[in-house]
Amino acid sequence: MVAEKRFTIKPSRGDYYLMDKCEGHKANCVLFQCPSEFGKGVLVSPTVHGNLIVGPNAVKCDDAERVNTTSDGLACVKAAAAKSVPDINYRNAIRNFSGMRANTDIDDFIIYMANDHFLDLAGIKSPGLTSAPAIGEEAVKILSENGLALTKKENPVLTRKRIRFKELSESEKAAVIKENPLYGRVICRCETITEGEIVDAVHSPIPPCSVDGIKRRAGSGMGRCQGGFCGPRVLEILARETGMNVLDILKDKNGSRILISETKKEEAFHEA
Ligand SMILES: Cc1cc2nc3c(=O)[nH]c(=O)nc-3n(C[C@H](O)[C@H](O)[C@H](O)COP(=O)(O)OP(=O)(O)OC[C@H]3O[C@@H](n4cnc5c(N)ncnc54)[C@H](O)[C@@H]3O)c2cc1C
Protein backbone atom coordinates (compact mmCIF):
# COMPACT_ATOMS: atom_id res chain seq x y z
CA MET A 1 0.00 0.00 0.00
CA VAL A 2 2.89 2.41 0.58
CA ALA A 3 5.36 1.24 -2.04
CA GLU A 4 5.71 -0.64 -5.28
CA LYS A 5 5.14 -4.36 -5.10
CA ARG A 6 8.48 -6.14 -4.74
CA PHE A 7 7.55 -9.58 -3.50
CA THR A 8 4.68 -12.05 -3.30
CA ILE A 9 3.68 -13.97 -0.20
CA LYS A 10 3.48 -17.70 -0.85
CA PRO A 11 1.97 -18.99 2.37
CA SER A 12 2.34 -22.49 3.72
CA ARG A 13 0.33 -23.85 6.63
CA GLY A 14 1.64 -26.00 9.47
CA ASP A 15 -0.51 -28.08 11.83
CA TYR A 16 0.41 -29.01 15.37
CA TYR A 17 -0.64 -31.35 18.15
CA LEU A 18 -0.23 -30.11 21.71
CA MET A 19 -0.16 -33.05 24.10
CA ASP A 20 -1.05 -33.24 27.76
CA LYS A 21 1.79 -33.22 30.28
CA CYS A 22 1.48 -36.99 30.72
CA GLU A 23 3.15 -37.28 27.29
CA GLY A 24 5.82 -34.70 28.15
CA HIS A 25 8.42 -37.30 29.07
CA LYS A 26 8.39 -38.86 25.60
CA ALA A 27 11.13 -36.45 24.46
CA ASN A 28 13.74 -34.82 26.65
CA CYS A 29 15.08 -32.50 23.95
CA VAL A 30 13.89 -31.00 20.67
CA LEU A 31 13.93 -33.78 18.08
CA PHE A 32 14.46 -32.53 14.54
CA GLN A 33 14.33 -34.64 11.40
CA CYS A 34 16.34 -33.85 8.29
CA PRO A 35 15.01 -30.68 6.66
CA SER A 36 13.51 -30.98 3.18
CA GLU A 37 12.35 -28.56 0.50
CA PHE A 38 9.28 -27.96 2.73
CA GLY A 39 11.33 -26.68 5.64
CA LYS A 40 12.69 -27.94 8.91
CA GLY A 41 10.32 -30.90 9.10
CA VAL A 42 8.13 -32.32 11.87
CA LEU A 43 9.51 -31.85 15.36
CA VAL A 44 8.74 -33.64 18.58
CA SER A 45 9.60 -31.35 21.41
CA PRO A 46 9.02 -30.92 25.12
CA THR A 47 7.61 -27.48 25.97
CA VAL A 48 8.92 -25.27 28.75
CA HIS A 49 5.76 -26.07 30.71
CA GLY A 50 6.24 -29.82 30.43
CA ASN A 51 3.86 -30.68 27.58
CA LEU A 52 4.86 -32.32 24.32
CA ILE A 53 4.38 -30.46 21.04
CA VAL A 54 4.33 -32.32 17.72
CA GLY A 55 4.49 -30.66 14.30
CA PRO A 56 4.42 -28.84 11.96
CA ASN A 57 3.82 -30.19 8.49
CA ALA A 58 3.97 -27.78 5.53
CA VAL A 59 1.10 -27.40 3.08
CA LYS A 60 1.12 -24.71 0.40
CA CYS A 61 -2.01 -22.54 0.63
CA ASP A 62 -3.60 -19.88 -1.55
CA ASP A 63 -5.47 -18.20 1.28
CA ALA A 64 -3.19 -16.88 4.02
CA GLU A 65 -6.15 -16.40 6.38
CA ARG A 66 -7.20 -20.07 6.42
CA VAL A 67 -5.48 -21.28 9.54
CA ASN A 68 -7.83 -24.21 10.15
CA THR A 69 -6.32 -27.60 10.84
CA THR A 70 -7.26 -30.48 8.54
CA SER A 71 -7.53 -34.20 9.22
CA ASP A 72 -5.11 -34.87 6.33
CA GLY A 73 -2.59 -32.41 7.74
CA LEU A 74 -2.79 -33.87 11.23
CA ALA A 75 -2.49 -37.41 9.89
CA CYS A 76 0.65 -36.31 8.05
CA VAL A 77 2.10 -34.86 11.30
CA LYS A 78 1.37 -38.11 13.16
CA ALA A 79 2.97 -40.26 10.48
CA ALA A 80 6.09 -38.11 10.29
CA ALA A 81 6.47 -37.83 14.08
CA ALA A 82 6.24 -41.60 14.46
CA LYS A 83 9.70 -41.81 12.86
CA SER A 84 11.12 -39.86 15.82
CA VAL A 85 8.89 -41.06 18.66
CA PRO A 86 6.72 -44.06 17.78
CA ASP A 87 4.71 -44.34 21.01
CA ILE A 88 3.00 -40.96 21.33
CA ASN A 89 -0.56 -41.54 22.54
CA TYR A 90 -2.69 -39.10 20.56
CA ARG A 91 -5.65 -39.70 22.86
CA ASN A 92 -3.76 -37.33 25.15
CA ALA A 93 -3.85 -34.47 22.63
CA ILE A 94 -5.31 -31.39 24.34
CA ARG A 95 -5.29 -28.99 21.40
CA ASN A 96 -4.62 -28.77 17.70
CA PHE A 97 -3.74 -25.57 15.93
CA SER A 98 -2.07 -24.36 12.81
CA GLY A 99 -0.13 -21.34 11.66
CA MET A 100 0.64 -19.80 8.30
CA ARG A 101 4.27 -19.26 7.32
CA ALA A 102 4.83 -15.96 5.54
CA ASN A 103 7.05 -17.49 2.85
CA THR A 104 7.77 -15.27 -0.14
CA ASP A 105 9.41 -15.55 -3.54
CA ILE A 106 12.56 -14.10 -1.94
CA ASP A 107 14.59 -16.58 0.05
CA ASP A 108 15.19 -14.36 3.07
CA PHE A 109 13.46 -12.00 5.48
CA ILE A 110 12.50 -8.80 3.67
CA ILE A 111 13.81 -5.80 5.59
CA TYR A 112 14.08 -2.52 3.72
CA MET A 113 12.91 1.08 3.64
CA ALA A 114 9.90 0.79 1.33
CA ASN A 115 9.84 4.57 1.04
CA ASP A 116 11.36 7.49 2.95
CA HIS A 117 9.15 6.96 5.97
CA PHE A 118 8.26 3.30 5.99
CA LEU A 119 10.36 0.36 7.03
CA ASP A 120 9.03 -2.92 5.69
CA LEU A 121 9.57 -6.05 7.78
CA ALA A 122 7.86 -8.67 5.67
CA GLY A 123 7.99 -12.36 4.96
CA ILE A 124 9.18 -12.96 8.51
CA LYS A 125 8.89 -16.70 8.10
CA SER A 126 10.52 -19.37 10.23
CA PRO A 127 12.77 -18.84 12.19
CA GLY A 128 11.29 -15.37 12.58
CA LEU A 129 10.47 -15.84 16.24
CA THR A 130 14.01 -16.80 17.14
CA SER A 131 15.28 -13.96 14.99
CA ALA A 132 12.92 -11.34 16.45
CA PRO A 133 15.42 -9.69 18.84
CA ALA A 134 18.02 -9.38 16.05
CA ILE A 135 15.38 -8.11 13.61
CA GLY A 136 14.35 -5.52 16.22
CA GLU A 137 17.91 -4.29 16.60
CA GLU A 138 18.36 -4.15 12.84
CA ALA A 139 15.10 -2.18 12.49
CA VAL A 140 16.25 0.40 15.04
CA LYS A 141 19.57 0.72 13.22
CA ILE A 142 17.96 1.22 9.80
CA LEU A 143 15.40 3.67 11.16
CA SER A 144 18.03 5.74 12.96
CA GLU A 145 20.17 5.80 9.78
CA ASN A 146 17.09 7.10 7.99
CA GLY A 147 16.47 10.02 10.26
CA LEU A 148 14.45 8.62 13.19
CA ALA A 149 15.27 10.62 16.29
CA LEU A 150 15.95 8.11 19.06
CA THR A 151 15.10 9.49 22.47
CA LYS A 152 15.76 7.51 25.58
CA LYS A 153 12.59 6.56 27.45
CA GLU A 154 12.45 8.07 30.90
CA ASN A 155 10.61 5.22 32.55
CA PRO A 156 11.19 2.08 30.53
CA VAL A 157 9.67 -1.14 31.85
CA LEU A 158 12.81 -3.21 32.42
CA THR A 159 11.44 -6.11 34.40
CA ARG A 160 8.30 -8.14 34.45
CA LYS A 161 7.91 -9.17 38.03
CA ARG A 162 5.19 -11.74 38.27
CA ILE A 163 3.88 -13.86 41.08
CA ARG A 164 3.66 -17.51 40.03
CA PHE A 165 1.62 -18.82 42.92
CA LYS A 166 2.24 -22.52 42.29
CA GLU A 167 6.00 -21.98 42.30
CA LEU A 168 6.03 -20.38 45.77
CA SER A 169 6.92 -22.17 48.99
CA GLU A 170 4.14 -22.77 51.52
CA SER A 171 5.25 -19.81 53.64
CA GLU A 172 5.49 -17.54 50.57
CA LYS A 173 2.01 -18.64 49.53
CA ALA A 174 0.65 -17.77 52.96
CA ALA A 175 2.36 -14.37 52.83
CA VAL A 176 0.96 -13.38 49.40
CA ILE A 177 -2.55 -14.55 50.36
CA LYS A 178 -2.34 -12.48 53.54
CA GLU A 179 -1.40 -9.44 51.49
CA ASN A 180 -3.99 -10.11 48.77
CA PRO A 181 -6.64 -12.80 49.39
CA LEU A 182 -7.22 -13.10 45.61
CA TYR A 183 -4.08 -15.28 45.49
CA GLY A 184 -6.02 -17.73 47.64
CA ARG A 185 -8.65 -18.41 44.97
CA VAL A 186 -7.55 -20.86 42.30
CA ILE A 187 -9.32 -20.09 39.02
CA CYS A 188 -7.52 -22.45 36.64
CA ARG A 189 -7.47 -25.82 38.36
CA CYS A 190 -5.37 -27.61 35.75
CA GLU A 191 -2.48 -25.12 35.98
CA THR A 192 -3.14 -23.73 39.50
CA ILE A 193 -3.50 -20.12 38.39
CA THR A 194 -5.07 -17.85 40.97
CA GLU A 195 -7.42 -14.90 40.68
CA GLY A 196 -4.60 -12.67 41.95
CA GLU A 197 -2.39 -13.64 39.00
CA ILE A 198 -5.21 -13.01 36.53
CA VAL A 199 -5.98 -9.60 38.06
CA ASP A 200 -2.24 -8.77 37.93
CA ALA A 201 -2.24 -9.66 34.21
CA VAL A 202 -5.31 -7.49 33.51
CA HIS A 203 -3.53 -4.49 35.09
CA SER A 204 -0.10 -5.13 33.55
CA PRO A 205 1.59 -2.36 31.48
CA ILE A 206 0.21 -3.63 28.16
CA PRO A 207 -3.08 -5.07 29.34
CA PRO A 208 -4.59 -8.11 27.64
CA CYS A 209 -8.23 -7.60 26.66
CA SER A 210 -9.37 -11.09 25.66
CA VAL A 211 -9.60 -14.45 27.43
CA ASP A 212 -6.73 -15.81 25.30
CA GLY A 213 -4.70 -12.67 26.04
CA ILE A 214 -4.97 -13.51 29.73
CA LYS A 215 -4.09 -17.11 28.96
CA ARG A 216 -0.83 -15.99 27.35
CA ARG A 217 0.07 -13.75 30.30
CA ALA A 218 -1.15 -15.68 33.31
CA GLY A 219 -1.31 -19.25 31.98
CA SER A 220 -5.01 -19.85 32.77
CA GLY A 221 -6.55 -22.29 30.30
CA MET A 222 -3.21 -23.82 29.28
CA GLY A 223 -3.90 -27.14 30.95
CA ARG A 224 -5.64 -30.37 30.15
CA CYS A 225 -9.17 -28.92 30.07
CA GLN A 226 -8.02 -25.99 27.89
CA GLY A 227 -10.14 -23.45 29.72
CA GLY A 228 -13.34 -25.50 29.93
CA PHE A 229 -13.51 -24.85 33.66
CA CYS A 230 -11.78 -21.50 34.11
CA GLY A 231 -12.88 -19.78 30.87
CA PRO A 232 -16.21 -18.42 32.22
CA ARG A 233 -14.51 -17.29 35.43
CA VAL A 234 -11.72 -15.51 33.56
CA LEU A 235 -14.39 -13.80 31.48
CA GLU A 236 -16.15 -12.57 34.62
CA ILE A 237 -12.91 -11.30 36.15
CA LEU A 238 -11.95 -9.50 32.94
CA ALA A 239 -15.37 -7.83 32.79
CA ARG A 240 -15.22 -6.85 36.46
CA GLU A 241 -11.69 -5.45 36.31
CA THR A 242 -12.06 -3.53 33.04
CA GLY A 243 -15.71 -2.50 33.23
CA MET A 244 -16.34 -4.20 29.87
CA ASN A 245 -19.70 -5.75 29.13
CA VAL A 246 -19.35 -9.56 29.31
CA LEU A 247 -21.14 -9.79 25.98
CA ASP A 248 -18.33 -7.79 24.33
CA ILE A 249 -15.46 -9.91 25.61
CA LEU A 250 -13.66 -11.88 22.93
CA LYS A 251 -11.92 -15.21 23.13
CA ASP A 252 -9.17 -13.91 20.86
CA LYS A 253 -9.50 -12.06 17.57
CA ASN A 254 -12.39 -10.05 16.13
CA GLY A 255 -15.43 -12.23 15.62
CA SER A 256 -14.66 -14.57 18.52
CA ARG A 257 -17.33 -13.36 20.94
CA ILE A 258 -17.97 -15.93 23.63
CA LEU A 259 -21.41 -14.86 24.83
CA ILE A 260 -24.05 -13.82 22.33
CA SER A 261 -26.96 -12.69 24.50
CA GLU A 262 -28.58 -13.14 27.88
CA THR A 263 -30.68 -16.29 28.12
CA LYS A 264 -32.38 -15.62 31.43
CA LYS A 265 -33.60 -12.29 32.71
CA GLU A 266 -34.91 -11.62 36.16
CA GLU A 267 -38.46 -10.40 35.97
CA ALA A 268 -40.03 -8.21 38.63
CA PHE A 269 -42.28 -10.28 40.86
CA HIS A 270 -45.72 -8.73 41.45
CA GLU A 271 -48.04 -10.28 43.96
CA ALA A 272 -51.54 -10.65 42.64
C1 LIG B 1 3.98 -23.61 11.33
C2 LIG B 1 5.01 -22.59 11.72
C3 LIG B 1 6.17 -23.00 12.35
C4 LIG B 1 7.13 -22.07 12.73
N5 LIG B 1 8.24 -22.49 13.39
C6 LIG B 1 9.13 -21.58 13.86
C7 LIG B 1 10.26 -21.98 14.61
O8 LIG B 1 10.45 -23.17 14.90
N9 LIG B 1 11.14 -21.04 15.02
C10 LIG B 1 10.96 -19.73 14.73
O11 LIG B 1 11.77 -18.92 15.15
N12 LIG B 1 9.89 -19.31 14.03
C13 LIG B 1 8.97 -20.19 13.58
N14 LIG B 1 7.90 -19.78 12.85
C15 LIG B 1 7.84 -18.40 12.41
C16 LIG B 1 7.33 -17.42 13.42
O17 LIG B 1 6.10 -17.84 13.95
C18 LIG B 1 7.17 -16.07 12.68
O19 LIG B 1 8.36 -15.78 12.03
C20 LIG B 1 6.84 -14.94 13.61
O21 LIG B 1 5.66 -15.24 14.33
C22 LIG B 1 6.64 -13.68 12.80
O23 LIG B 1 6.38 -12.62 13.67
P24 LIG B 1 5.65 -11.33 13.15
O25 LIG B 1 5.54 -10.46 14.36
O26 LIG B 1 6.33 -10.83 11.94
O27 LIG B 1 4.22 -11.82 12.66
P28 LIG B 1 3.06 -12.52 13.47
O29 LIG B 1 3.57 -13.34 14.60
O30 LIG B 1 2.20 -13.16 12.43
O31 LIG B 1 2.30 -11.28 14.11
C32 LIG B 1 1.51 -10.40 13.34
C33 LIG B 1 0.37 -9.98 14.23
O34 LIG B 1 -0.35 -8.93 13.58
C35 LIG B 1 -1.72 -9.18 13.76
N36 LIG B 1 -2.40 -8.49 12.66
C37 LIG B 1 -2.46 -8.85 11.37
N38 LIG B 1 -3.17 -7.96 10.69
C39 LIG B 1 -3.56 -7.02 11.56
C40 LIG B 1 -4.31 -5.83 11.45
N41 LIG B 1 -4.81 -5.43 10.27
N42 LIG B 1 -4.52 -5.11 12.57
C43 LIG B 1 -4.02 -5.49 13.75
N44 LIG B 1 -3.28 -6.61 13.93
C45 LIG B 1 -3.07 -7.36 12.83
C46 LIG B 1 -1.87 -10.67 13.70
O47 LIG B 1 -3.06 -11.08 14.34
C48 LIG B 1 -0.62 -11.11 14.48
O49 LIG B 1 -0.86 -11.22 15.86
C50 LIG B 1 6.92 -20.69 12.48
C51 LIG B 1 5.73 -20.29 11.84
C52 LIG B 1 4.79 -21.23 11.47
C53 LIG B 1 3.52 -20.76 10.83
Per-residue model confidence (pLDDT) at position 265 = 76
Domain 12-101 is found in CATH 1.10.287.110 = no
For ligand 1, whether the C-beta of 127 sits within 6 Å is: yes
**Residue 271, pLDDT score:** 64
The predicted structure's pLDDT at residue 270: 67
pLDDT tens, 209-231?
Answer: 999 999 999 999 999 999 999 99
Give residue limits of the domains in the chain. 12-101, 110-145, 165-248
Task: Report how far ligand 1's centroid is from the alpha carbon of 268 (Å).
Answer: 51
- Ligand 1 lined by 101 (C-beta under 6 Å): yes
The one-character DSSP state at 31 is B
pLDDT at 37: 75
165-248 CATH: 1.10.10.1100
- Taking the C-alpha atoms of residue 111 and residue 48, their distance in angstroms, rounded to an integer, is 31
| Residue of 32, 96, 125 with the most ligand 1 atoms within 8 Å of its CB, for mutation | 125
Q: Ligand 1 test: best mutation among 32, 42, 101, most atoms within 8 Å of CB?
A: 101
Residue 35 is predicted with a pLDDT of 84
Low-confidence stretches of the chain (pLDDT < 50) are none
Quick: pLDDT tens for 10-21. 999 999 999 999
Where in 80-207 does DSSP place strands (E)?
93-101, 110-115, 118-122, 186-188, 193-194
